């Protein structure tokens, strides 16, 4: 028993270490994370035979995958806030209906006539093809930095259509059961209708109960996430016991109800679920990829490859483009959505399940569904993982080629800083609560936004995905700390900077590091920066060449305050307090220089009429 326990521990460690390492490598080298996780799973599974789920953990891996998918779908539902739809609402409605039924129809036809599956297998598998995979779309959108509307359309479609795809498969499977005399048409229809209704009602009622108990303080803060976690598992298990895959629909509705209830603790719950989902997606992909049967993969032939090509180039684009006819969605956004349809965890998990059920009914070609599902997932993940960013760039639908800088707080200093960043080819946007504070940034020709940086309206107007660095430099230290703390998870704490608050060195007023951004500009406060600007300070951009290194510049400007460095590709790096800039040739340094030294104006050699200057009252003039 101890040996088995040790083996199980080693297996869990292997899944976690390899999966998270794949995600880190993908982030480090700007590659699609899903592709690396898929390759990693195949490598440790069929490749090196280090881990085979059926052999090492038995039937437990099916339960693990099922519950992980349930939590992933719930987290997806938490992302579906109606306020975030805005002008994407029309497109999202069309992608749910009629695009989903059309996708079912076109996928079924392609499966039957191209892949040459039977009508029974084609109808069931075609229903599953509706899904586009939130587990795949989320990391792709994070990497591609799409404009808000097409990103919202892809995200909503992926999350909403996942349970709908499972329901379509259930409906098709029920029809197959009727044709094989396992039950009557009326019994199957009632079973599916009751199951779907129960799942919808259960998700809604439990969601409302959670909202009411949380708002009334009936659950302490430290127990909210555990209560939420076990509630998701309970709702999924209960709905799934009445109708297979009905649990996916129930937990998605549960997440949507909570997301749109304006809970004060919504952000904490959502972020915890996001972290849990990253780990679960990692584990699920590793397990499913490691579970591949090489003998079944040999069943894939030219027909299977042709089917994937038709699915990606014909069935998916036709369903989307036909559905969006008559909408105000621009053609370039329609094309991007039409040619972006990666499939993920849900399709692999559900396809394998229904393939087994169809085989039990005596459908001869049901064993081909699993390998086909793997081919679809792996092909679309690799294809869209490497083509989404170039396609978005070609269509002009990326928020920014270079991650920009969001500056919170309008002032002469931030105006000068923003102007210098723009000269270094870095996109900049300055936001402030007071329009008067934005006068200097506007005069400098910078993009501005008047409003609260944390307001929900800002998510729609600011295109947060286009910014990689946050600089908080308003005249209110408390507001600076609030913005830096709240947006740190979105930008990453290493990319959030804040002007030093007044009296920050005092024990009485010092704040924990977790409640503020990183200090920069030599820990100068807002008042100190403003005083330097009032006295003639300026923010400069200096490009360095081999014949003019940083050392020479530093000797000539001993009082300069280095702020950031900029690489030739526009990547900005704000310097932390005390961090020395490392500048290679071609890099630029953005620095705050104090006013130039002044000298007294020389007295005239001769003057018949004494002037005030000759009397020792001359004004100093800059040189």
Residues 355 and 438 in one domain: no
- Reference 308, options 540, 115, 548; nearest CA is 115
Phi-psi region of 467 (alpha: psi -120 to 50; beta: other; left: phi over 0): beta
- Residue 181: pLDDT band with limits 50, 70, 90: low
Contacts of residue 288, defined as CB under 8 A and 6 or more positions apart, other chains included, come to 41, 65, 345, 348, 349
Contacts of residue 568, defined as CB under 8 A and 6 or more positions apart, other chains included, come to 586, 587
Residues 326 and 371 in one domain: yes
The 10s digit of each residue's pLDDT in 230-245 is 999 999 999 988 887 7
CB 387 within 8 A of CB 393: no
35 found inside a domain: no
Calculate mean pLDDT across residues 527-535. 93
> Taking the C-alpha atoms of 437, 439, 441 and 443 in order, what is their torsion angle to the nearest 10 degrees?
-170
Residues 522 and 452 in one domain: yes
How many domains is the chain partitioned into structurally? 2
Per-residue burial over 357-386, b = 16 or more CB atoms within 10 Å of its CB, e = otherwise? bbbeeebebbbbbbbbbbbbbbbbbbbbbe
Contacts of residue 192, defined as CB under 8 A and 6 or more positions apart, other chains included, come to 167, 170, 171, 174, 243
Angle between the N-to-C axes of helices 266-290 and 33-42, in degrees from 0 to 180, rounded to the nearest 10? 40
Strand ranges in 414-546 using DSSP code E only, listed in sequence order:
428-432, 447-450, 467-472, 496-498, 518-519, 538-543
Phi, psi of 24 (to 5 degrees): -65, -45
Calculate mean pLDDT across residues 409-414. 95
Give the C-alpha separation, 584 to 546, whole Å: 8
Residue 557 has pLDDT above 80, yes or no: yes
579 found inside a domain: yes
Residues 63 and 133 in one domain: yes
Beta-strand pair 538-543/588-593: antiparallel
46 found inside a domain: no
Residues 248 and 369 in one domain: yes
Residues 535 and 583 in one domain: yes
Residues 424 and 376 in one domain: no
CB 412 within 8 A of CB 429: no
Give the C-alpha separation, 412 to 538, whole Å: 10
pTM of the complete model: 0.75
CATH of the domain at 545: 3.40.50.720
Give the C-alpha separation, 114 to 108, whole Å: 10
357 found inside a domain: yes
Segment among 170-179, 356-365, 558-567 with least mean pLDDT: 170-179
Give the C-alpha separation, 410 to 436, whole Å: 8
Per-residue burial over 487-498, b = 16 or more CB atoms within 10 Å of its CB, e = otherwise? bbeebeeebbbb
Contacts of residue 486, defined as CB under 8 A and 6 or more positions apart, other chains included, come to 267, 454
Calculate mean pLDDT across residues 104-125. 94
618 found inside a domain: no
146 pairs with which residues across the strands? 398
Q: What pLDDT does 406 receive? A: 93
Three-state SS letters, 159-216: HHHHHHHHHHHHHHHHHHHHHCCCCCHHHHHHHHHHHHHHHHHHHHHHHHHHHHHHHC
Q: What pLDDT does 612 receive? A: 36
Residue 182 has pLDDT above 60, yes or no: no
Residue 4 has pLDDT above 60, yes or no: no
Residues 323 and 413 in one domain: no
- Reference 161, options 71, 244, 93; nearest CA is 93
- Write down the residue that tokens 């946050």 correspond to: 470
Q: What is the mean pLDDT of the chain?
A: 83
CATH of the domain at 94: 1.20.1530.20
Residues 319 and 178 in one domain: yes
The 10s digit of each residue's pLDDT in 254-294 is 988 998 888 877 777 767 766 777 788 788 878 878 887 77
Q: Which of 362, 395, 428 is the last residue of a domain?
A: 395
- Residue 439: pLDDT band with limits 50, 70, 90: very high
109 found inside a domain: yes
Beta-strand pair 496-498/518-519: parallel
566 pairs with which residues across the strands? 572, 588
Share of the chain above pLDDT 70, in %: 88
Angle between the N-to-C axes of helices 369-395 and 119-128, in degrees from 0 to 180, rounded to the nearest 10? 40
Q: What pLDDT does 84 receive? A: 67
616 found inside a domain: no
Q: What pLDDT does 509 receive? A: 63
Q: Which of 344, 370, 395 is the last residue of a domain?
A: 395
- Reference 89, options 329, 317, 253; nearest CA is 329
Residues 409 and 379 in one domain: no
27 found inside a domain: no
- Reference 398, options 596, 622, 141; nearest CA is 141
- Residue 204: pLDDT band with limits 50, 70, 90: very high
Residues 413 and 538 in one domain: yes
Which structural domain range is residue 331 located in?
Answer: 53-395
Residue 530 has pLDDT above 90, yes or no: yes
Residues 348 and 468 in one domain: no
Q: Which of 338, 369, 395 is the last residue of a domain?
A: 395
Higher pLDDT residue, 449 or 26?
449
Would you call the peptide bond into 457 cis, given omega within 30 degrees of 0 as the criterion?
no
Q: What pLDDT does 514 receive? A: 65
296-301's contacts with Cβ under 8 Å and 24+ in sequence apart are 296/367, 296/370, 296/371, 297/371, 297/374, 299/367, 299/368, 299/371, 300/371, 300/372, 300/375
Angle between the N-to-C axes of helices 134-144 and 266-290, in degrees from 0 to 180, rounded to the nearest 10? 110
The 10s digit of each residue's pLDDT in 283-334 is 887 887 888 777 777 778 899 999 999 999 999 999 999 999 999 999 999 9
Residue 609 has pLDDT above 60, yes or no: no
Q: What pLDDT does 622 receive? A: 34
- Residue 620: pLDDT band with limits 50, 70, 90: very low
């Amino acid at each position: 028993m101890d040996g088995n326990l040790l083996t199980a521990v080693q297996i869990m460690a292997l899944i976690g270490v390899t999966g998270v390492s794949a995600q880190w490598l993908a982030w480090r080298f700007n590659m699609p994370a899903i592709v690396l996780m898929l390759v990693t799973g195949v490598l440790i599974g069929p490749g090196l035979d280090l881990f085979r789920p059926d052999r090492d953990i038995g039937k437990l891996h099916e339960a693990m995958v099922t519950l992980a998918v349930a939590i992933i779908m719930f987290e997806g539902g938490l992302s579906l806030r109606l306020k975030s739809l805005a002008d994407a609402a029309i497109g999202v409605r069309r992608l749910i209906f009629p695009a989903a039924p059309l996708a079912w129809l076109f996928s079924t036809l392609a499966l039957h006539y191209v892949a040459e599956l039977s009508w029974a297998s084609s109808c069931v598998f075609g229903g599953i093809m509706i899904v586009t995979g939130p587990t795949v779309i989320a990391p792709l959108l994070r990497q591609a930095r799409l404009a808000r509307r097409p990103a919202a359309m892809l995200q909503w479609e992926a999350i909403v259509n996942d349970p709908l795809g499972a329901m379509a498969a259930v409906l098709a499977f029920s029809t197959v059961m009727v044709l094989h005399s396992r039950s009557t048409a009326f019994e199957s229809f009632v079973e599916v209708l009751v199951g779907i209704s129960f799942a919808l009602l259960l998700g809604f009622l439990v969601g409302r109960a959670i909202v009411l108990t949380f708002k009334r303080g009936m659950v302490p803060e430290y127990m909210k996430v555990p209560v939420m976690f076990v509630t998701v598992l309970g709702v999924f298990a209960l709905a799934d016991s009445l109708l297979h895959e009905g649990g996916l629909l129930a937990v998605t509705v549960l997440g949507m109800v909570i997301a749109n209830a304006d809970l004060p603790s919504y952000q904490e719950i959502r972020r915890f679920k996001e972290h849990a989902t990253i780990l679960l997606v990692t584990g699920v992909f590793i397990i499913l990829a490691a579970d591949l049967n090489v003998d079944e993969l040999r069943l894939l032939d030219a027909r299977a490859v042709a089917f994937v090509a038709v699915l990606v180039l014909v069935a998916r684009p036709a369903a989307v483009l036909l559905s969006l006819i008559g909408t105000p969605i621009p053609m370039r956004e329609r094309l991007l959505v039409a040619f972006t349809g990666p499939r993920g965890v849900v399709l692999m998990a559900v396809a394998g399940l229904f393939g087994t059920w169809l085989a039990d009914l005596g459908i001869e070609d049901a064993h081909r569904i699993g390998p086909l599902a793997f081919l679809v997932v792996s092909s679309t993940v690799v294809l869209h993982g490497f083509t989404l960013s170039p396609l978005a760039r070609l269509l002009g639908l990326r928020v920014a080629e270079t991650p920009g800088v969001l500056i919170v707080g309008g002032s002469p200093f931030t105006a000068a800083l923003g102007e210098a960043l723009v000269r270094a080819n870095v996109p900049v946007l300055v936001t402030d609560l007071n329009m008067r504070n934005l006068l200097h940034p506007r005069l400098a020709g910078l993009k501005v936004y008047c409003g609260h940086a944390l307001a929900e309206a800002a998510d729609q107007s600011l295109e947060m995905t286009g910014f990689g660095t946050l600089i908080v430099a308003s005249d209110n230290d408390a507001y600076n700390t609030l913005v830096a703390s709240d947006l740190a998870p979105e930008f990453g704490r290493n990319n959030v900077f804040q002007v030093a608050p007044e009296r920050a060195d005092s024990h009485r007023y010092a704040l924990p590091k977790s409640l503020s951004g990183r200090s920069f500009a030599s820990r100068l406060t807002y008042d100190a920066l403003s005083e330097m600007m009032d006295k003639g300070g300026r923010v400069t951009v200096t490009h360095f060449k081999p014949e003019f290194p940083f050392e020479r510049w530093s000797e000539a400007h001993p009082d300069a305050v280095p702020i950031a460095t900029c690489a030739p590709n526009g990547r900005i790096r704000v310097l932390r307090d005390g961090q020395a800039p490392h500048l290679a040739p071609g890099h630029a340094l953005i620095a705050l220089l104090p006013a130039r030294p002044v000298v007294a104006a020389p007295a005239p050699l001769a003057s018949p009429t004494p002037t005030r200057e000759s009397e020792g009252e001359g004004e100093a003039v800059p040189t």
